[in-house]
C-alpha cells in the first residue's frame, strides 16, 4: 500500500500570500502549519503563467511543449497522460477532482468540450482518470447559463445568488473604490464556492473505506478574479488599512520609469497601447488603477485566501477524523501568481516575473514517513508533482513523466526552473523562454510571429484578427538579479558586465528545453 495524497491547489495565488512566506495582512494558520511540519519550497516555479498550460502540467507531469497546451484556448487531448489515471490503474487508488479543472477551454458556447458538457448532463462520474469529478469555476453563471456543477447547484438551490458575481474578464468598476472586476458580493459564506468545495471534499472522504488508498485533487478557484468574496467577510481586512505593495513603484512617472527599462509591451500595457487580452480583460489598462483600487483588490484577495485557509483546516480535520492524518501526504500550491499592484499592474499575462512564476509550494509528508521538516531554497518545478505522487504511491515513475521527485532538503540536486510563453492570439505572436538559476531570472524573447496561423483563425476569426504593433526581433530580453533586485525593476539584459552570464544562461535554457510537440496543437478558443 502507498500513502494517501491530498493535493490542494488554488488559482492565481502569489508566493507571498501566506504567513509562512512573509504575509503580514492575511491569516493562514492551517497552511502555515503544513509548512512548519513539512517542506516549504522557497523557489518553486510554474512552467507557464496562465491557467490551462499550468494545470495541464500538474495533471500530466510534462513540460508545456510536450503536453502541447501552450496557452489558454488549447484543449488538452482526451488521451493525454493523467497522474490520477496512473495512480488508479497502477496502484489501485480511489481518485477524485473537486473544484476547478480547466484542462479544456472555458469559452465554449456550443459545449464542444466534455469538461463543460458535464454540468449540463449532470455527469460527476469518471473523467481523465478521476473516479469522480465535480467542478467549480470563479462564477456561478455567464450570460444566464450555469458555469460548472457549482453553477447548476446555485441555480437550483439558491437562485437568488445565481448571478451575484460580477462578470468574469470584464473590468467594469465595482466594490467600494470602483476597482475593476471587484464586488461586495451578497452571497452568504456557506454557499460561496470555497466552503461548498470543502464540504464536498469532506463528504467524499467520509464515503471511502477505511483501508482505501486515495488521491484527492481539491482545487479552489480563488483568489482569481473576480475579486468578490462574501461581503460579510470583508471585515477581515479593511482596504483602508493596507499599504501599497512593495512592488508598486508609486507615481505614474515612477511606474513609467521602471517599465521603460523592459521590453516594449510592458510600458505599452500601462499606457493602453497594448491590450493584454491573453491575461486580463480587453477593456482594462493599468493606468486607470488608483492606489485605492489596488488596496481594495489586495484586501479582497487576503479575505479570499483566509477563507481558503479555513477550508484547508476543515478538510484536514476530516482526514484526521478518519484516522488517516499520519498516513496522508498533503501538498499545497497554485497554478500561477497575480501581479496585484507590482509594476502598477493587476492580472497576469506575458510578464515573466516572480509575481506570476514563483509559487506557494508546500509538501507535508505523511508523519509516519518520518521526513524532517525543512525549507528548500533550490529551484523546483510544477512538473515535479506527478513524479512525487508516483513515488508516494509506491509505483515507478511513468515513462511519460518529465519531472523528478521533489527533494526533501537542499541537497544540490536542482539547478534551474524553466517557464515558457507562446501567444494564444496569432496577431500577437510572442514567444518567451525563461530560466531561473543561481539567483538570476533570464527571459529570452524569440522573434515574434505576428499573423502566423495557430488555429484560432479557423475557429474564431474575429478574435484571431486582434493584434499588436509590437514585434520582437529576437534581440530583446530581460535579466534580473533576484538577490539584489527582488522586485525585478532593474533589467540587466544590456549590461556589458553581464554578457558572459547572459550567454551561459541562454545556453543552459535551451540545453534543458525538451523537444517541442510536432505538430503543435491548435488554439481552438479565445479562453
pLDDT, mean of residues 138-162 = 96
Cβ neighbours of residue 82 closer than 8 Å, sequence gap 6 or more: 59, 60, 128, 129, 130
- Residues 268/285, Cβ–Cβ less than 8 Å: no
Residue 438: name the closest of 395, 378, 486 by CA: 378
Residue 15: name the closest of 357, 252, 330 by CA: 357
Size of the chain, expressed as the number of residues it contains: 527
Q: The C-alpha cell of 403 is what?
A: 519531472
How does residue 335 score in pLDDT terms, banded at 50, 70 and 90? very high
The span from the CA of 115 to the CA of 219, in Å, is 15
Reported as a single tens digit per residue, the pLDDT across 455-478 is 999 999 998 989 999 999 999 999
How does residue 2 score in pLDDT terms, banded at 50, 70 and 90? confident
CA distances from 279 to 52, 70, 171 (A): 12, 14, 12
Is residue 1 predicted with pLDDT exceeding 70? no
DSSP 8-state symbol, 474:
S
Reported as a single tens digit per residue, the pLDDT across 158-182 is 999 999 999 888 999 999 999 999 9
Report the pLDDT value the prediction gives residue 435, as an integer from 0 to 100: 98
Packing angle, helices 252-259 and 264-271, rounded to 10? 160
- Residues 382/58, Cβ–Cβ less than 8 Å: yes
Reported as a single tens digit per residue, the pLDDT across 431-444 is 999 999 999 999 99
SS3 assignment, position 217: strand
In 240-327, alpha helices (H): 252-259, 264-271, 291-321
Q: Is residue 313 part of a domain?
A: yes
Q: What is the CA radius of gyration of the chain?
A: 22
Average pLDDT, the chain: 97
Is residue 265 predicted with pLDDT exceeding 90? yes
The span from the CA of 491 to the CA of 230, in Å, is 40
Please give the tally of structural domains in the chain: 1
- Residues 468/427, Cβ–Cβ less than 8 Å: yes
Q: Is residue 242 part of a domain?
A: yes
Residue 428: name the closest of 275, 286, 287 by CA: 275
Cα end-to-end distance, the chain, whole Å: 40
The span from the CA of 291 to the CA of 248, in Å, is 9
Cβ neighbours of residue 503 closer than 8 Å, sequence gap 6 or more: none
With cell 476547478, the residue in question is 100
Q: Which helix (H) or strand (E) holds 214?
A: strand 214-223
Is residue 406 predicted with pLDDT exceeding 70? yes
pTM: 0.98
pLDDT, mean of residues 239-255 = 98
Report the pLDDT value the prediction gives residue 45, as an integer from 0 to 100: 98
Reported as a single tens digit per residue, the pLDDT across 183-234 is 999 999 999 999 999 999 999 999 999 999 999 999 999 999 999 999 999 9
Report the pLDDT value the prediction gives residue 84, as an integer from 0 to 100: 98
Is residue 134 predicted with pLDDT exceeding 80? yes
pLDDT, mean of residues 398-412 = 98
- Residues 239/231, Cβ–Cβ less than 8 Å: no
- Residues 381/437, Cβ–Cβ less than 8 Å: no
The domain of 341 spans: 4-512
How does residue 69 score in pLDDT terms, banded at 50, 70 and 90? very high
- Report the b/e string of 339-370 with b at 16+ CB within 10 A: bbbbbbbbbbbbbbbbbbbbbbbbbbbbeeee
Q: Is residue 526 part of a domain?
A: no
Residue 100: name the closest of 60, 52, 44, 144 by CA: 52
Reported as a single tens digit per residue, the pLDDT across 364-395 is 999 999 999 999 999 999 999 999 999 999 99
The span from the CA of 389 to the CA of 87, in Å, is 8
Q: Is residue 519 part of a domain?
A: no
Residue 480: name the closest of 361, 354, 359 by CA: 354
Report the pLDDT value the prediction gives residue 34, as an integer from 0 to 100: 98
Packing angle, helices 29-37 and 291-321, rounded to 10? 60
Residue 352: name the closest of 471, 450, 266, 226 by CA: 266
CA distances from 173 to 20, 252, 270, 273 (A): 33, 20, 18, 21
The span from the CA of 433 to the CA of 510, in Å, is 9
Q: CATH number of the domain that 303 lies in?
A: 3.40.720.10
Packing angle, helices 83-91 and 51-60, rounded to 10? 20
Q: The C-alpha cell of 147 is what?
A: 458555469
Q: Is residue 520 part of a domain?
A: no
- 473 exposure class (CB count in 10 Å sphere: 0-12, 13-18, 19+): exposed
Q: Is residue 518 part of a domain?
A: no
Q: Is residue 522 part of a domain?
A: no
Q: Is residue 521 part of a domain?
A: no
Q: The C-alpha cell of 68 is what?
A: 502541447
pLDDT, mean of residues 319-347 = 98
Q: Is residue 70 left, alpha or beta, with left meaning phi > 0 and alpha meaning psi from -120 to 50?
A: alpha
With cell 500538474, the residue in question is 58
Cβ neighbours of residue 70 closer than 8 Å, sequence gap 6 or more: 48, 53, 64, 420, 422, 520, 521
Amino acid at each position: 500500500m502507498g500513502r494517501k495524497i491530498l493535493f490542494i491547489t488554488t488559482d492565481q495565488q502569489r508566493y507571498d500570500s501566506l504567513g509562512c512566506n512573509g504575509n503580514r495582512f492575511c491569516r493562514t494558520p492551517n497552511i502555515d502549519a503544513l509548512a512548519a511540519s513539512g517542506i516549504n519550497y522557497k523557489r518553486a516555479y510554474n512552467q507557464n503563467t496562465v491557467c490551462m498550460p499550468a494545470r495541464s502540467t500538474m495533471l500530466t507531469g510534462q513540460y508545456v511543449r510536450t503536453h502541447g497546451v501552450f496557452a489558454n484556448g488549447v484543449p488538452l487531448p482526451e488521451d493525454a497522460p493523467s497522474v490520477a489515471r496512473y495512480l488508479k490503474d497502477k496502484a489501485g487508488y480511489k481518485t477524485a477532482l473537486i473544484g476547478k479543472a480547466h484542462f479544456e477551454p472555458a469559452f465554449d458556447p456550443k459545449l464542444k468540450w466534455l469538461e463543460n458538457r458535464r454540468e449540463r448532463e449532470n455527469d460527476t462520474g469518471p473523467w481523465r482518470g478521476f473516479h469522480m469529478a465535480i467542478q467549480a469555476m470563479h462564477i456561478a453563471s455567464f450570460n444566464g447559463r450555469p458555469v460548472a456543477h457549482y453553477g447548476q447547484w446555485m441555480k437550483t438551490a439558491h437562485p437568488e445568488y445565481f448571478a451575484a458575481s460580477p462578470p468574469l474578464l470584464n473590468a467594469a468598476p465595482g466594490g467600494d473604490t470602483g476597482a475593476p472586476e471587484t464586488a461586495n458580493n451578497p452571497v452568504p459564506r456557506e454557499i460561496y464556492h470555497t466552503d461548498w468545495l470543502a464540504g464536498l471534499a469532506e463528504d467524499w472522504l467520509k464515503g471511502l473505506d477505511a483501508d482505501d488508498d486515495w488521491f484527492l485533487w481539491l482545487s479552489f478557484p480563488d483568489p482569481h478574479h473576480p475579486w468578490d468574496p462574501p461581503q460579510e467577510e470583508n471585515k477581515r481586512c479593511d482596504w483602508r488599512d493596507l499599504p501599497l505593495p512593495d512592488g508598486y513603484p508609486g507615481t505614474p512617472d515612477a511606474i513609467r520609469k521602471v517599465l521603460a527599462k523592459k521590453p516594449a509591451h510592458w510600458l505599452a500595457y500601462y499606457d493602453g497601447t497594448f491590450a493584454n487580452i491573453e491575461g486580463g480583460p480587453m477593456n482594462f489598462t493599468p493606468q486607470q488603477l488608483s492606489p485605492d483600487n489596488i488596496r481594495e483588490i489586495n484586501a479582497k484577495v487576503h479575505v479570499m485566501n483566509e477563507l481558503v485557509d479555513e477550508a484547508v483546516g476543515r478538510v484536514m480535520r476530516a482526514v484526521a477524523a478518519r484516522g488517516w492524518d499520519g498516513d496522508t501526504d498533503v501538498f499545497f500550491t497554485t497554478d500561477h501568481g497575480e501581479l496585484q499592484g507590482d509594476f502598477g499592474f493587476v492580472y497576469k499575462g506575458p510578464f515573466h516575473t516572480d509575481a506570476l512564476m514563483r509559487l506557494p509550494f508546500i509538501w507535508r509528508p505523511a508523519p509516519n514517513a518520518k521526513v524532517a521538516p525543512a525549507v528548500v531554497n533550490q529551484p523546483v518545478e510544477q512538473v515535479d508533482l506527478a513524479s512525487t505522487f508516483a513515488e508516494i504511491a509506491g509505483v515507478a515513475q511513468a515513462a511519460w513523466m518529465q519531472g523528478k521527485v521533489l527533494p526533501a532538503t537542499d541537497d544540490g540536486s536542482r539547478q534551474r526552473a524553466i517557464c515558457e510563453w507562446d501567444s494564444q492570439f496569432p496577431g500577437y505572436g510572442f514567444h518567451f523562454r525563461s530560466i531561473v538559476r543561481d539567483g538570476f531570472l533570464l527571459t529570452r524573447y524569440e522573434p515574434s510571429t505576428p499573423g502566423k496561423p495557430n488555429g484560432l483563425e479557423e475557429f474564431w476569426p474575429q478574435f484571431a484578427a486582434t493584434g499588436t504593433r509590437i514585434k520582437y526581433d529576437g534581440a530583446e530580453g530581460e535579466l534580473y538579479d533576484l538577490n539584489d533586485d527582488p522586485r525585478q525593476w532593474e533589467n540587466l539584459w544590456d549590461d556589458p558586465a553581464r554578457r558572459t552570464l547572459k550567454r551561459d544562461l541562454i545556453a543552459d535554457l535551451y540545453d534543458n528545453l525538451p523537444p517541442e510537440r510536432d505538430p503543435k496543437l491548435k488554439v481552438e478558443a479565445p479562453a
